[in-house]
Amino acid sequence: MTTIAGEPVPRHGIRILATWLVLTAIAVPLIVLVLGPHLPPPHMTVESVDQRNANIVMTALLVPIALFVLVYFVYSFVFFRETGDAIVDGPPIKGHAGAQLLWIVVTSTIVLALAVWGSYTLIAGAHGAGGGQGPDPAAKPAGYQHALPVQVIGQQWEWTFRYPTYGGIETRDLAIPDHTLVAFHVTSLDVTHSFWAYELGVKADAVPGVDNIAYVNPRHTGYFQIRCAELCGLWHGHMSKKGRVLAASAFQTWIAAAQKKNASIVKYLPKYSRVYFPAPLRRAG
């Protein structure tokens, strides 16, 4: 407690802290219980559920931090505002080594803890969380050797898909079976694209000459949206279509029909490969 010019100074620090605590106590349960289940992405796969849970944790942690800054600012604007026209200096600002140290320690701890937690859940818990991990994934889910491989080929400006375990057929449409671990092998024939299957929670860059692997475990049947998430030229925004998660038996029917439908072109397709370097590099010189 200090006085300035003989008057007691209100305990600003306690007020700010108390306001912040009350707001946090209201906000965090609201986020976790009410907002949380509605946060994107929709929970069609194990990976998208993992992402949604991560969003809940991050929001529940970051909102109190934002609130602290906001409460501090708003409080200062309201209570430290100089009224009247006279230009008078306020009390001098002194450094406080304890406060500085506390700030540095607390913020560093939060950041480091998040980094550790994030890395652990990404690799050990979520097995990549639907993201592309390159040709040699570090976070492989259990049973990855038996994952259904589906190659996603990005080209200007459409997606095509190859199923190496079904005769290497290529299709325009994507379907994957429910409750089956799928390994997407994402690559490109020309420029960089990005395969974003929204409800699946999958996003992997399609890079020419690179086999980018992303794992996904669907848990519900239904449609999902596919978009391109890396600017690839004129029709980048139009590279979208719908994919489907089918029940396992429906998937078998679908793939058999796809094999029949695409039979006439199979003999012209190159042998299935993890990457392709198709000619021509340039036309006519």
Partner 1 sequence: MAFGVALVVYYIVSYLMVTPPVVAATGSKPRVHLTLQTVASFGNVPHKDWVSYLARDPRGKWVHSTVLRVPAYSTVDVTIYQFDTATGLRNPFWGQPRGTVGGTINVDGKTLNVLDPDLASHTFAIPDLGVSVPLKGVADNAKNQCSVAPCTLSEAHTTVNFSFKTGKPGKFRWQCFVPCAAGFPLGFGGPMQSIGWMDGYLMVQ
Partner 2 sequence: MSATPIAAHRPVWRRLIGFNMLTGLALGIGGWFLGAWIGGRMAVGHDYLLGTDQNDVGIYMGYLFAVIGWLVGLGFANYPIGRLLGRPPSLRHHETGRWTRYFRLCTDHKVVGIQYLFGVGIFFFIGGLNAMLMRTELLRPVEQAWPAGQYLTLVSLHGTMMIMMTSAFILGPFGNYFVPIMIGARRMAFPRIEALTFWLVPAAGLILLSAIAFGGIATGWTGYAPLADEGRAGMDAYVMSFILIAVSLTLVGLNLMATILTMRAPGMSWGRLPIFVWSVLATSILMALAAPVLVASMTMVLMDRAANTSFFLASAGGSQYLYENLGLVFAFFGAVYYWLPKMLGFELNETLGKIHFWLFFVFFNLTFFPLFAAGFLDMPRRVSTYAPHLQTLNIFVSASAYVIGLSMLIFIANLIWSLVFVRQPAAENPWASRGLEWQVPTPVPIENFDRIPVITSGPYEYGVPNAPPVADFAPGALPAAGR
Q: Which is nearer to partner 1, 38 or 283 (CB)?
A: 283
Residue 141 φ then ψ, to 5°: -75, 165
**Beta carbon nearer to partner 1, 92 or 280:** 280
Task: Give the strand pairing for 169-171 and 193-197.
Answer: unpaired
Q: Which of 162, 153, 169 is nearest to 226 (CA)?
A: 153
Nearest to 24 by CA among 89, 68, 54: 68
Please identify, among the stretches 89-97, 100-108, 183-191, 251-259, the one whose residues bind partner 1 according to the rule CB under 8 A: 183-191
**Residue 139 to residues 15, 49, 58, 206: CA-CA distances in angstroms?**
47, 17, 22, 19
* Cβ atoms of 246 and 221 closer than 8 Å: yes
The footprint of partner 2 (CB under 8 A) covers: 39-41, 87, 89-93, 190-192, 196, 198, 207-210, 225, 227-238, 277-279, 281-285
Backbone angles phi and psi of 91, in degrees to 5: -60, 150
Spell out, one character per residue from 136 to 175, where the chain touches partner 1: x when CB under 8 A holds, - when not.
-----------------x-xxxx-x---------x-x---
158 binds, among partner 2, partner 1, none (CB under 5 to 8 A by kind): partner 1
For residue 196, the partner it binds in partner 1, partner 2, none, with Cβ less than 5 to 8 A by kind, is partner 2
In the list partner 1, partner 2, none, the entry touching 225 (Cβ below 5 to 8 angstroms by class) is partner 2
We find the least distance from the C-beta atom of residue 285 to partner 1, in angstroms, to be: 7
Question: Nearest 5°: CA angle at 19, between 11 and 91?
Answer: 35
191 binds partner 1 (CB under 8 A): yes
Q: Which residues pair with 177 in a beta bridge?
A: 246
Q: Tell me: does residue 262 bind partner 1 (CB under 8 A).
A: yes
Contacts with 55 (C-beta within 8 Å, 6 or more apart), sequence order: 39, 40
- The site for partner 1 (CB under 8 A) is made up of 153, 155-158, 160, 170, 172, 189-191, 233-235, 238, 241, 262, 264-265, 268-270, 278-285
